[in-house]
Structure 1
Amino acid sequence: MKNKYSKIVSIIFGLLLINFLASSVYKRFDLTEDQRYTLSPATKNIVKTVDEIVLVKVYLQGDFPSEFKRLQTETKLLLEELKTLNKNVQFRFINPTDIAQELIEKGLEPSRLQVQENGKVSEIVIFPFAEINYKSKTEIIPLLKDIYTNSQDEQLESSIQNLEYAFANGIHKITSKKSKKIAIIKGNGELNDIYIADFLLKLGEYYLLAPITLDSVVSQPEKTLTELSNFDLAIIAKPTEKFSEQEKYTLDQFIMNGGKSIWLIDNVVAELDSLIQTGETLVYPRDLGLTDLFFNYGIRINSDLVTDLYSSQIPLATGNIGNQTQFSDFQWNYFPLVNSLNNHAITINTEAVNFKFTNSIDTLKNNISKTILLQSSPLSTTTGTPSIVTLKSITQKPNQAEFNNGNKPLAVLLEGSFKSAYNSRVKPFNFNNSKEVGLPSKMIVISDGDVIANEVSKGQPLELGLNKWTNQLYGNKEFLLNAVNYLLDDSGLINIRSKTIKIAFLDKQKAYEQAYKWQFINVLFPLIILGVFGFLISYFRKKKYQ
């Protein structure tokens, strides 16, 4: 009897010990094939450094269709992982129904989505946002990515795949201090500030920005180069005036000393405004004096125009009703919509980027690693310049057989130790820290200056990538922001974007068509199993006690 009670006590004590250890030691095993619930080292490093309470408010509480329940569940699971890493990360889910007006006043526009259930299509309104609060700072995180060209299931898959990056980036942004410095190069007819205002405003949330004018290189070349060397990245946005040898050498030595750069270059003169005014325009090469510089680094921007059947639209006047001019949108093959064919961290899950009068890029053999980030579609070709571009071509049906020379590189990433373009050449001026072979560096060359240009309405800059006529939002801003983050990212945060997750979605049409079949099976099959077990038990009992 004593042994019996001692065993019971031992079992109870063992159960209590197991429960205590289970509550104090947290361990989760990720058995998924794509390791979707395993946080990246960059995310762990960012979250572990949070020293005060970070409160995350998620506006996804409520009764949602199954697809959006998935987004809600995945968001909750991710935040639980972040809270496990650092107790300073707190979160709560909020039903936005009662505070909809308050959220709209904050600038959180609701999304109207089509939902198909039981063979019927209905519309729901949700606020797919999270709000991160840290000290006196607030950061808004969109949880539903605007992938307009994909289906709703693909949009949700991209959104779920983007969750870790979105929250890690938001926490990093709101808790860290700005340290990296970006120079906006001026002095060679680059875009006016109002045309790059939206992108600079977004960049300013992450980095320190300042203009650097290369004009001063004429009188104070070494001082100008020294000032530029204090920056981590230089952005050259659509220059229209030729670079002098002193200016080129300044940029060359900035790169040799490890500086990163983004070049947005128009190698031909072509503008839509002049074309609309006259109906046709002469497109001709633009000499910026940069050919030898790029050739030395391993690329060549051609003086041609890329036309693509996959393109955006332009508005043209088609008549008048009363005193009002009527406009219609026409496909314009000189404005390619460009996607990526690889899963690079810069381009994965981004919307199509809108190019305008772009040129093709050739990659040349040298010791520099080159990655084609964006390229035209297979249904594209090139047109030589000088040539006449006319609006009459809109009325002509394109011959698809002529658009068979596609996949022209339009944006290229170059990485490695660049060789100076002034190696074994007379230098325009003396610089104490000059280098023939540079430190490891990176640059991105884009063969269109308008990729960074936002449109202007009533004297105010619009969001970068927004077509004010069609209200279509393209991926220009996200692509460029990813490009800057990649070039300057020391934490490895941008690499989270390369993580791929495959979500299995239900075939709604098939589920609706076979609903009664599976309902019948789910109801009847368990009853049959219970009946069989009941018969067998009754049979064996009778046989045993007969």
Structure 2
Amino acid sequence: MKSSAAHIAKPWIFLFGGVLLFVLLGQFLRFRVDLTEEKRFSLHPATEEVLSQVSDPLHVDILLVGNNLPGGMRRLQKSIEETIRTFNAYSPEKITFSYFDPMSIEAGEQEEFILSLTQYGINPTNLSVNQLTGLQTQLIFPGILVSNEEYETGALILKGERGMSPDQILNQSIENLEFELSNAIRKLISPESSAIAMLIGHGEMGSDEGFGMVEALDGEFELFKVPLEQARKPEDLAHFALVFIQGSKESYTEREIYLLDQYVMNGGNLVVLLDGVAVDIENAGGEGTLAMPFESGLDNLLFRYGIRVNKDLIQDLNFGYLPVMGGNFGDQQQMVPLPWPFFINAGRMQAHPITKGLDVVNFRFVSSLDTVMAAGVVKTPLIFSSDYSRILPAPVRVAFSDMEQEPDVKLYGMKNLPLVYLLEGEFTSLYKNRFLPDGFAKADFKEKGRGKVVVIGDGEVFQAQSNLENGAPLALGEDPFSQTTYANRLFLQNLAQYLAEPDGIIASRTRTLQIRPLNKVKVVQQKTYWQTVNVLAPVVILLVFGGIIGAIRKNSYSKKIK
């Protein structure tokens, strides 16, 4: 009897001992194996670096809630949960999550809370849902809030390019979850990082005086207005991670151009927003005005780097609207929005970390860009015009009266004109084999260097517009006339992050997850077959294995009895 009892207990002892051993090992050894083809549950090294710096527990509020959400939104919900769990596995501190519905707040505080969400770019969206009682709409907030004991930040997680199908938008949003969540965490653990110089002294930044950039990048970068004429040597710009030139109205001197050139040669990142022509829109009434070529002094520098801002303007049939005075109603002047092909709503994006998944970016009076030969420089176009564009060489007539005429589609025969270029690689100095400006020593001169240059043929793409009622500047990308928010703000944020740290968390935006939809025809044709297989196959397999095991046991015990 004792031998029989020991024989029966032995496997159970081994089973519970093995389980206990695995539990103990799990307390000391942590590992994950990602068996998915696309490494869906793996993180970019830069994301792992951010998570390694987490020193306090974090909590994520998922705002995407609602009754009877469609399948796509539920898939996005599940993906958010999976991403947070993956982050928690890599983080030294706990990262927890819960669902929170902004509409559950009391009426008195609800409006204030919803307005606070817009600071993070989280705007409510009306979602139509098919229910038994018919088509119903509900308000959803496709975003997340990340907080620790002291601070809170947020991010919009439902993003896509114009023209994408709902499935493509959802898939792209899932692809970008790692970046959105890691970027929010980075803001909490390191609120400010690199310094940015906004050059002044040549009429830059126009009427908003840099408010658009400051509002968009505050909290992530330190921004400084820098008068370039006061710089004495290239080292004066060296500690800036980025230098912005925004729509200068006056020409740069030879000495200032040399400083910019050597800044790039020493590994700097230069962003040039340059108008090819000068437009005085205040004189566009009546017979209109002529937009004349503008000489900034930077043309030779950019040409050496491999790009040219042309003296022209692009018109596009994917246009915005400009309000003009349409007469009086009583004693009040009426503003009438009219189509303005000089205002381009660009929605064609390159699949690049800066622009992937961006919605429409608004350009106002943008000049075309051409590339030229520059050895060692890689030129990447980032944003394009639509399939219906045209180029008007300077001098260009700009008149409000032209809005009264319907555009002739036949004249807009150009497509996909590049509006933004990213230049990377080894640049050659403009001053190679040339005399240096007075006051600079040849010993300190660098004739080659690796840097990055971004060129945009519109000096106002990062300038904020003003509120029509009180004249206060709006957030970058907000249009006071159409009540539309363009992606200019997000474009600037992605651009600054990439230039400051191209291998950082911004690189995770290149992740691609393949959409694998079910074949609806096969679903209908093979529905009964697969239902039968799924129901009967497990039962048959269990019966077969049970029979085999029973036969083996019967045969074994019968031998022992003999």
CA contact (8 A) 1:195 1:455 kept: no
Secondary structure of 1:355's aligned partner: strand
CA shift, 1:59, in A, is: 2.7
CA shift, 1:497, in A, is: 1.1
CA distance in 1, matches of 2:422, 2:531: 61
Asked if residue 93 in structure 1 is aligned to residue 98 in structure 2, the reply is yes
CA shift, 1:82, in A, is: 0.8
Which moved further from structure 2: 315-324 or 20-29?
20-29
> What percentage of aligned pairs have identical amino acids?
30
Asked if residue 416 in structure 1 is aligned to residue 425 in structure 2, the reply is yes
Match of 2:352 among 344, 347, 350: 344
Match of 2:363 among 345, 355, 366: 355
Asked if residue 264 in structure 1 is aligned to residue 270 in structure 2, the reply is no
Match of 2:138 among 99, 102, 124: 124
User: With structure 2 as the length reference, what TM-score do the two structures score?
Assistant: 0.84
Match of 2:321 among 313, 320, 326: 313
Secondary structure of 2:215's aligned partner: helix
Q: Show the counterpart of 2:330.
A: 322
CA shift, 1:143, in A, is: 2.5
CA contact (8 A) 2:57 2:95 kept: yes
Secondary structure of 1:333's aligned partner: strand
Q: Show the counterpart of 1:453.
A: 463
CA contact (8 A) 1:420 1:435 kept: no
CA shift, 1:204, in A, is: 2.3
Q: Show the counterpart of 2:390.
A: 381
Cα deviation code 1:320-369 (max 9, x no counterpart): 43334444433221112223452111110001211111111110112211
- Residues 341, 210 of structure 1: alpha-carbon distance in 2 compared, 3 angstrom cutoff: closer
CA contact (8 A) 1:258 1:438 kept: no
Which one-letter code corresponds to 2:18 in the other structure? G
Secondary structure of 2:105's aligned partner: helix
In the comparison of the two structures, how many residue pairs are matched?
523
CA distance in 2, matches of 1:176, 1:302: 41
CA contact (8 A) 1:411 1:445 kept: yes
Which moved further from structure 2: 419-428 or 144-153?
144-153
Asked if residue 173 in structure 1 is aligned to residue 187 in structure 2, the reply is yes
Q: Show the counterpart of 2:557.
A: none
Secondary structure of 1:241's aligned partner: coil
What's the C-alpha RMSD, in Å, of the aligned pairs? 3.2
CA contact (8 A) 1:335 1:357 kept: yes
Asked if residue 30 in structure 1 is aligned to residue 34 in structure 2, the reply is yes
CA contact (8 A) 1:104 1:110 kept: no
Match of 2:299 among 284, 287, 291: 291
Q: Show the counterpart of 2:259.
A: 250
Q: Show the counterpart of 2:55.
A: 51
Asked if residue 79 in structure 1 is aligned to residue 95 in structure 2, the reply is no
- Residues 249, 41 of structure 1: alpha-carbon distance in 2 compared, 3 angstrom cutoff: same
CA distance in 2, matches of 1:242, 1:153: 48
Q: Show the counterpart of 1:438.
A: 448
CA contact (8 A) 1:415 1:441 kept: yes
Cα deviation code 1:301-321 (max 9, x no counterpart): 110111112222222344443
Q: Show the counterpart of 2:381.
A: 372
Gaps spanning 5+ residues in structure 1: where? Answer: 538-546
Match of 1:137 among 151, 155, 159: 151
Asked if residue 157 in structure 1 is aligned to residue 171 in structure 2, the reply is yes
- Residues 479, 7 of structure 1: alpha-carbon distance in 2 compared, 3 angstrom cutoff: closer
CA shift, 1:89, in A, is: 3.5
Which one-letter code corresponds to 1:99 in the other structure? I
Q: Show the counterpart of 2:46.
A: 42
Q: Show the counterpart of 2:7.
A: 3
Cα deviation code 1:125-151 (max 9, x no counterpart): 223332222342221222233756545
Secondary structure of 2:479's aligned partner: coil
CA distance in 2, matches of 1:491, 1:341: 20
